[in-house]
Amino acid sequence: MKKFQPQPGFVVQAYRFALDPNAAQEQALRSHCGAARAAYNWAVGWVSASWWQRRAEESYGLAGPELTEWRPWSLPALRKAFNQVKRTDPRFADWWEENSKEAYNTGLANAAAAFDNYAKSKRGQRKGGRVGMPRRKSKHKARLACRFTTGTIRVEPDRRHVTLPRLGTIRTHESTRKLERRIAGGSARILCATVRFERGRWFVSFQVEVERAERTPARPDVAVGVDLGVKCLAVLADGQGEIHHVPNPAHYDTALKALKRLSRRVSHRQGPDRRTGQTPSKRWLQANAERNRVHHQVANLRTDALHKITTAISAEYGTVVVEDLNVAGMLRNRRLARKIADAGFGEIRRQLTYKTGWNGGQVQVADRWFPSSKTCCGCGAVKAKLPLHARTFCCDECGLVMDRDANAACNLAALAAASTTGTGVAGDRGAKAPKPRGADQKTRVTLPSRMAGAGRAGGATLPRQRQAEARDRHQDTATLTLR
């Protein structure tokens, strides 16, 4: 599939609407999503079969041209091979005509992308964690989704229905006026549509090429530093000295008591068991649906809150500075994992990235090793250590005392003005910290220029003097002990 390149002045964005399908339409939606999963499993098995065959032949002593040829995993190759077997393969012969060809193309495209990611990860050409070999999708665990790129895809003028290939016209749960009026005015064009079942209902997402007017933030010359946290979801500090605290709604913690009560109710009733073939009781299905309803409500509230925060930030400031947080590593902390996941750090950065571009601003990402919390925003001194429980920053050099998160946000805001220069601290943009024998990056203690100058004038820096005094005190204590 050729990647779409938007024209100048156009952006590609998504419009998502909830659907209210009837029984027949819901059955057709599930059939299309099942067809996509079946095509994906066929592609994974078809490509992997040649790999296992070659491995078996190598164990027999065969080599070179005697081995079975590799089967390609590109989308055109998979589509050609699938079209040759879909009429004769007993897994598809009886029902493949019931669904749109886009359903099978969805599964084949996902398989091609999975094999491509696996090959790039094995060659070291892909960032992130190592990607394993693609595996078959389970009927009970796979997400229901199907993508349509050709055929009749439109939003009806009544703003209450959408039309999709082979599925026909489906009623929407909400009005589609935001998209329909753009299409009617000629400022939007639908590229493709994706139907997905999540949070207990069906959704359709339209990928649309939209013409957006040029916008400018309310304060285009002001940079803001955004420090994310658990107690306060975000602390904003701009270059003019204003500091704003955004409280954490903590939607999951608010609903935790109700979720525990509903989970106990579910566990006390007869649930499904695939090992014994036990089917769930009606009372279990009712209790599970009630519990899922609370989970869906929490997810919707979180999504709404994050969109409101990021929209307000991108519409006001011209430059937004955020941290490059290791969210995956932070989630390994069992004491904070639940609160970090509830805050949605990664989603905030993702939304800020594209919303600032829409509004004419820019996003700067501070280096992951930039010590924003350990650096004094008043004099620039850097602490060697700052435990997590210390919520107030106290500078040992200038005596500054302020909130830890506010100090970090001020340092991030100042980083935007000094993006071309560095303070010499490990992790600064452009700074080169020594790494003897592959040592980890750690914060190096630095002092303000006046302190450093005074230390050089005396022949030694202030930290070395303190280390010498500590050694002298230790020796005096040892002498007294021996006496």
| 8-state DSSP, 136 | P
Given strand 145-148, what is the order of strands in its sheet?
Answer: 10-18, 201-211, 188-198, 145-148
Q: Mean pLDDT, the chain, as a whole number? A: 85
Active site residue 89: no
Catalytic residue among 180, 238, 316, 323: 323
Q: What is the pLDDT of residues 325-370, one digit of tens each?
A: 888 888 998 888 999 999 999 999 999 999 998 888 999 999 888 8
**What does the pLDDT average to over 442-466?**
44
Catalytic residue among 227, 238, 316, 342: 227
Q: What is the pLDDT of residues 91-147, one digit of tens each?
A: 898 899 999 999 999 999 999 999 999 999 999 999 888 899 999 999 988 999 999
The answer to whether 321 and 415 are in contact (CB under 8 A) is yes
Catalytic residue among 342, 367, 405, 428: 405
Active site residue 227: yes
The answer to whether 240 and 407 are in contact (CB under 8 A) is no
Token pair 């040592």: residue: 439
Residue 440 has pLDDT above 70, yes or no: no
The answer to whether 361 and 222 are in contact (CB under 8 A) is no
**What does the pLDDT average to over 62-80?**
90
Q: Is the pTM of this model over 0.75?
A: yes
Residue 437 has pLDDT above 60, yes or no: no
Report the relative pairing of strands 161-164 and 154-155 from DSSP bridges: antiparallel
Residue bearing the bigger pLDDT, 179 or 389:
179
Residue bearing the bigger pLDDT, 26 or 482:
26
Active site residue 242: no
Q: What is the pLDDT of residues 104-113, one digit of tens each?
A: 999 999 999 9
Classify 115 as helix, strand or coil: helix
Report the relative pairing of strands 232-238 and 219-228 from DSSP bridges: antiparallel
Predicted pLDDT of residue 443: 57
- Non-local (6+) Cβ contacts of 139 within 8 A are 34, 37
